[in-house]
Structure 1
Amino acid sequence: MWVQLRCGLEPRTLAALAVVLVVGAVFAAQHFWAGRPQAVRAPEVVQQGAAQPPPDPVAESVPASGAPAPAEARPSARIVVDVSGKVRRPGVLRLPAGSRVADALEAAGGVTTGTDVTGLNRARVLMDGEQVVVGAPPSVAGAGPPGATGTGPVGAATGPISLNTATAEQLETLPGVGPVLAQHIIDHRTRSGGFRSVDELREVNGIGDRRFADLQNRVRP
């Protein structure tokens, strides 16, 4: 009764007013805290030379340009030669490019016992499609394609002498050819892998236009 007369408010009303005041104070404090100034951090500078992600090993293994595999990865070239005559296994053979007559003889099982190979240049480099005739007279060996080789008695050839099979003694039977020039011809065919045409005789040291004119109808590859 005394409180009602002094303030003019009931205790319930006072309690509600106190709650409103407390809620208002809390809201004001929260608003003030959210609106306060805050420090801003400067962005980090990425330094040059920083660590990069590791490269993809799969991407590195595939050429970017799609270039073909290197030469050593491709199968090596091969040639085909026909070995006949006095060998143990005559026939058509496939040999690596750059093989020599000795390699062809070995692939054919070797020369038969008692065969004379004096006039056979076993160090000569073979050409694709060549025929190697072992133990036949030069006149028979000459029936094969350019580069055919054979053995036989000196001077037994009837017709043009093969520049690829003739011995030094056979070459010396040609007009104007002595031991020195005959050796030059043999050295040239060894270095070049054999004569492919009679015109290549011009490349031999010591053979000029005049001597070539005397020889061109007397020789063949």
Structure 2
Amino acid sequence: MVQTDSDSISPPVPSSFAAFRAAVTAQAPALDPGRPGLRVLLVLGLLAAVAGGIYAWRSSPTPEPLAAPPPISGSAAPPAAVVSPTPTSSVLVHVTGKVRKPGVYTLPGGSRVADAVEAAGGARTDTATASVNLARRLVDGEQIVVGAPGSVSQGGTVAAPPGSDLLDLNTATPDQLEQLPGVGEVLAARIAEFRATHGGFRSVDQLQEVTGIGERKYADLKDKVRV
């Protein structure tokens, strides 16, 4: 038998490998899964790939929002809005009578008669202030007569000057106006304010223009006052 070149070139096959190849060849039909088995293997592989993808997605880290950086030490906070105080209202009053410095004085709103008397240097005698209510609030434009003729009743209020039946609307003090029927501190202050803003009363009928004096109250007052 003539030996070819290919036979001389091919290396000899080890006996162990030849035995392994023979065993595989003999078991090849048993290892073939067939078409149904191949389909099952493909489905199982697909499910494994999907499960692996879901697991990888759930295992991915979730980004957390960054916290706001702390303020830099030493930095000043923005200044708060400064609300300017509202200007204090004031009242202008004329203090006359038995005081050391009669005149016109400007006092803060809400001041009392006692503040006006003190601004005018105080009363000249201890009994002069008996004719005024020192605790009454001042009304802008009013006149305060300290030591005005009149007597103090038991209740501490000032009676009308003796010898006069009618009260002069243009010269009466707020304390004297309070002696009129139905006139209290508030209404007396309104009468004094009306007198100051209108340059005095020209007639008794003008009392009806004062806020708080209706037809019935005017009927009670018209015969007790004059101008």
The TM tier, using the shorter chain, reads 0.3 to 0.5
Instruction: Please identify the structure whose Cα radius of gyration is greater.
Output: 2
Could you tell me the TM-score, scaled by structure 1's length? 0.47
